[in-house]
Amino acid sequence: MKTVKHLLLMACTLVLALSCGQSKAPKYLVLYYSQTGTTQTVAEAFQKCLGADIEQIVPVDPYSGSYQETISRGQQELSSKEFPKIQPLKSDVRAYDVIFLGFPVWFGTYANPIATLLDEVDFSGKKIVPFCTFGSGGLDACVKNIRAKLPDAEVLPGYGVRAARIAAAPGEIERFLKEGGFIPGETVKVDPFPEAHPASEAEAALFDAAVGDYPMIHAKATAVASRAIPGGTEYLFTAVDLPREGMPAPPTPPAGFQVYVTALDGEAPVFTQVVR
């Protein structure tokens, strides 16, 4: 009998030792605001890859008007600093280790309902992974602004995708999560961009092809760096705005900005993000 008890005690001790040596798996929440459904598509791709809980942020008074009406309302809210009320969250943020926070980019930063969320919910001690959808860019500014707003949280690098490239999001999100260590799997290591050089005529033409159908960009490529990526080449262009027809020339030379362009084998080049 003593032998049996001794064996049981040893077994329990072993199980306890093993359990203490194992780290608890982090708990993920995908929390997002989406007006048109585009950001929702990205949020659901994150949720699927992570097996995470998910919740949508819902304004009490939804933005249900036309595009221009939404712009006017948003600008008025920014001017007055009176952001929209949102419905209480069903999820208890305190129960999660990592919050994947999604939104469209409005006026160069996160959409107004996110401003309300960041004011009302305590994210202290949490890891925040921003993700966003946009017309041309804004990820870097959003990450910077969230870090400033949440000094007691750890805001990690984020993911952003143009609405025009939403079909590419699932594959990019899977790679993003693997690179961040959120899900298992290996990815192809991509080298840093080398030093930029003056854009050649052929490279300038590639830039023009990538941005030519986007009306908000009227610019000339001045310099470029490129690197190999799986299935093609990624370019980092430096560009300057060109005067528009009927508009007076600016009194000072235009400042440069950066445009990321991807050219996959056998496909037309597309720009993925503008950073001003």
Q: Which residues in 41-145 belong to E strands, given as ranges?
A: 53-56, 98-106, 109-110, 127-134
Domains in the chain: how many in total?
2
**Alpha carbons 169 and 38: distance in angstroms, whole number:** 11
pLDDT at 9: 46
CATH number at residue 169: 3.40.50.360
Residue span of the structural domain in which 121 resides: 28-179
pLDDT at 65: 83
pLDDT at 252: 73
pLDDT at 23: 61
Per-run averaged pLDDT (10 residues), the chain, 276 residues: 48 43 81 97 98 98 91 95 97 98 97 98 98 97 98 98 97 97 94 98 98 93 97 97 80 85 96 96
Of 150, 179, 208, the residue that ends a domain is 179
CB 132 within 8 A of CB 39: yes
**Alpha carbons 270 and 248: distance in angstroms, whole number:** 30
pLDDT at 217: 94
pLDDT at 37: 96
pTM of the model: 0.89
Element (DSSP H or E) covering residue 77:
helix 67-80
**Whether 139 and 264 share a structural domain:** no
In a domain, 10, yes or no: no
Residue 56 has which token pair?
Answer: 């949508």
**Whether 104 and 224 share a structural domain:** no
pLDDT at 247: 73
CA–chain centroid gap for 212, Å, is 24
